[in-house]
Chains A and B, each alone.
Chain A
Amino acid sequence: MKKHWYDYLWILSLTYLVLGFFNILFAWLGLLCFFIPLIISVAKGTKGYCNRYCGRGQLFSLLGGNFGLSRKKDIPKWMKSKWFRYGFLIFFFIMFFQMLWNTWLVFSNVQDLKQVVTLLWTFKVPWHWAYHGTLLHPGVAQFAFGFYSVMLTSTILGFFTMVLFKPRSWCVYCPMGTMTQLICKAKQKGQAA
């Protein structure tokens, strides 16, 4: 099958993860993975981002498919149920807002900057080597640490489900995927009404 330029976006996703080990401020770039799918779904009413441009999905496809790191088994039924998908989306939202709240506390000088990356919302891993100061407020760095935690956590989860089930199992419960599908459904309903 003919390859397109967007079939290589996995390189960007991989680069993003690597850059976070050198300078945490690069984590801000991850916002693109949040805004682009949302803009596409709101403006065009499609899941164009998932379908074409998602570098993370491509990365899992490559590792699980071409590199053979996946068992390629069916995902359990409960993991593809709406309960789990919507529940995970809500949980993800809550944790995301908690991260924003912590950022706000640093911005308002109530809390000091914590140079840690929190994995799986639990394990605080020292990450001071990737912080070299910022000309801006420390809150900018706090957001970077928090956002990178979100990105790395979801990559780890996606990697585990890639190994256990099919390469792109993450796509089944990816909060961005669930959210954009909901937007598309709402848009379609609005148009039909």
Chain B
Amino acid sequence: MEKKIRKKKKAFVSADDCVACGCCLKVCPRNAIEIWHGIMARVDMERCIGCGKCAKECPASVIVIQEAEA
């Protein structure tokens, strides 16, 4: 039987709409988010576990949790 591989979920930020407030990095349990040059949030895909805390916290709701392409 073929084994189904589930892709890992990660946080994705809509860079253009991000206000760079930093609410997301405060709640990230893995310290996987940084505010890049005061412009937008950037997620370290290696560290992100796709828990969704940042997406829940984001006041602009510009973070989505999606399956990451391998």
Contact = CB atoms under 8 A, between A and B. Distances in A.
Which secondary structure dominates where chain A touches chain B?
helix
Interface string B28-70: 0100000101110000000000000000111111100000000
B59 A166 contact: yes
Interface stretch (A103-111, A139-147, A182-190): A182-190
Interface in B6-34: 17, 19-23, 25-27, 29
A46 B23 contact: no
A181 B38 contact: yes
Given A1-B29, A80-B60, A165-B59, A51 B39 contact: no
Given A52-B22, A166-B57, A168-B23, A185 B39 contact: yes
A184 B20 contact: yes
Interface stretch (A17-25, A93-101, A117-125, A171-179): A171-179
B61 A74 contact: yes
17 contacts: A1-B27, A1-B29, A41-B38, A47-B35, A51-B22, A61-B23, A80-B17, A166-B57, A166-B58, A167-B59, A169-B59, A172-B60, A178-B19, A181-B20, A184-B20, A184-B38, A188-B37
